[in-house]
Amino acid sequence: MEAEFTTGQTDPALALDVKRAQAETMLERLGSTLVTNAFVAASALFVSTIDRGLTFAAAAWLGAILLSLVLRIAMASVLRRWETIEHAPDQALHVMTVGALISGCAWATLPLAVDGFDAMGADSGLYLMMCGMATGAVLMGVGHSPISLAFALPPQIAVMVSLATNGGAGGWLMTINVVALTGVLVRSSRRSEEVFVGNVTGTLKATALADSLSSANADILRANYRLEVLASCDPLTGLANRAAFNAALHTGISEALAAGQQLALLILDLDRFKSINDTLGHSAGDTLLVEVSEKLRGVIGEQGTIARLGGDEFAIILGGADAPEAAREIAGRILERSRQPVMLQGQPTVVGTSIGFALFPQHADTAEDLFVSADMALYRAKDGGRGQWCEFQPAFRSQAERQHQIEQELADALATGEIEAWFQPQVDLPSEEITGFEALVRWHHPYLGPISPPEIVAAAQAVQLSDKLTARVAEDACRLLTRLPMLGLPQATVAINVSPREFDLYSVTDVLDRITQAHDIDPALFEIEITEEAILDTLVAGEQLKRIERSGYKLAVDDFGAGHSSLAYLVQLKVDRLKLDRRFVTGIQASRQNQEIVGAMVGLGRSLSMEVVVEGVEREEEAAALRNLGVGTAQGYFLGRPMPSERIAGWIESHRNLQQQRAVA
Ligand code: C2E
Ligand code: MG
Ligand code: MG
Q: Give 159-178 pLDDT, tens digit per residue.
A: 888 888 877 777 888 888 88
Q: Where are the domains of the chain?
A: 2-211, 242-393, 417-664
pLDDT at 16 exceeding the cut of 60:
yes
Q: Which of 480, 583, 615 to mutate to test the pocket of ligand 1 (most atoms within 8 A of CB)?
A: 615
> Which of 442, 457, 497, 559 for mutating ligand 1's site (highest number of atoms within 8 Å of CB)?
497
Is pLDDT of 532 > 90? no
Question: Which residues contact residue 30 at a Cβ distance below 8 angstroms, ignoring those fewer than 6 apart?
Answer: 72, 73, 76, 96
CA distance 363 to 374: 9
Ligand nearest to the CA of 560: 3
- State in Å: Cα 496 to ligand 2 middle: 7
Q: Looking at the predicted structure, is the pLDDT value of residue 96 above 50?
A: yes
What stretch of H or E contains 175? Answer: helix 168-232
Question: Cα–Cα distance between 182 and 418 in angstroms, integer?
Answer: 116
CA nearest ligand 1 atom 34, residue: 497
Q: Indicate the class that CATH gives domain 417-664.
A: alpha beta
Please provide the average confidence, as pLDDT, over all residues in the chain.
89
Ligand with smallest separation from the Cα of 529: 2
DSSP secondary structure code for residue 590 in this structure: G
Q: What is the pLDDT, as a whole number, of residue 297? A: 95
Give the pLDDT band of residue 396 (cuts 50, 70, 90). Answer: very high
Instruction: Count the neighbouring beta carbons within 10 Å of the beta carbon of residue 420.
Output: 18
662 Cα: distance to centroid of ligand 3 (angstroms): 29
Of all protein residues, whose CA lies closest to atom 28 belonging to ligand 1?
453
Instruction: Please identify, in words, the CATH class of the domain defined by 242-393.
Output: alpha beta
The protein residue with its alpha carbon nearest to ligand 1, atom 30, reads 453
Spacing, Cα 615 to ligand 2 middle (Å): 9
R_g of the chain, CA atoms, integer Å: 53
- Distance, in Å, from the CA atom of 268 to the CA atom of 246, rounded to the nearest integer, reads 16
> How far apart, in whole angstroms, are the C-alpha atoms of residue 570 and residue 556?
10
Contact 145, 126 (CB under 8 A): no
In percent, how much of the chain has pLDDT > 90?
A: 57
Cα dihedral sign, 504-508-514-515:
positive
End-to-end CA distance of the chain: 113
| Contact status, residue 573 vs residue 535, Cβ threshold 8 Å | yes
Output the DSSP codes for 339-403: TS-EEETTEEE---EEEEEEEETTT-SSHHHHHHHHHHHHHHHHHTTSS-EEE--HHHHHHHHHH
Between the CA of 657 and the centroid of ligand 2 the distance, in Å, is 28
Residue 224, number of CB atoms within 10 A of its CB: 10
| pLDDT for res 6 | 41
Q: In the predicted model, is pLDDT for residue 295 greater than 90?
A: yes
Q: Is the shortest distance between the CB of 613 and ligand 1 below 6 Å?
A: no
Which ligand is closest to the CA of 495, given by its number?
Answer: 2
Whether the per-residue pLDDT at 2 is higher than 50: the answer is no
**Residue 306 to residue 234: CA distance in whole angstroms:** 11
Name the packing angle between helices 466-483 and 453-462 (round to 10°): 130
* Nearest ligand, CA 585: 1
Do 242-393 and 417-664 have matching folds?
no
pLDDT in tens, 331-376: 999 999 988 888 888 888 888 899 999 999 999 999 999 999 999 9
Residue 440, ligand 1, Cβ within 6 A: yes
Q: Is the distance from the beta carbon of residue 424 to the nearest atom of ligand 1 less than 6 Å?
A: yes
Residue ID of nearest Cα to ligand 1 atom 4: 440
The residue length of the chain stands at 665
Q: Is any atom of ligand 1 closer than 6 Å to the C-beta of 632? A: no
Query: Residue 613: nearest ligand to its CA?
Result: 3
- Cβ proximity of 475 and 515 under 8 Å: yes
Nearest atom within ligand 1 for CA of residue 642: 11
Residue 621 has pLDDT above 60, yes or no: yes
Is residue 497 in contact with ligand 1, taking CB distance under 6 Å? yes
Shortest-distance Cα residue to atom 7 of ligand 1 = 616
Q: Alpha-carbon distance 324 to 316, whole Å?
A: 13
Distance 646 CA to ligand 3 centre (A): 23
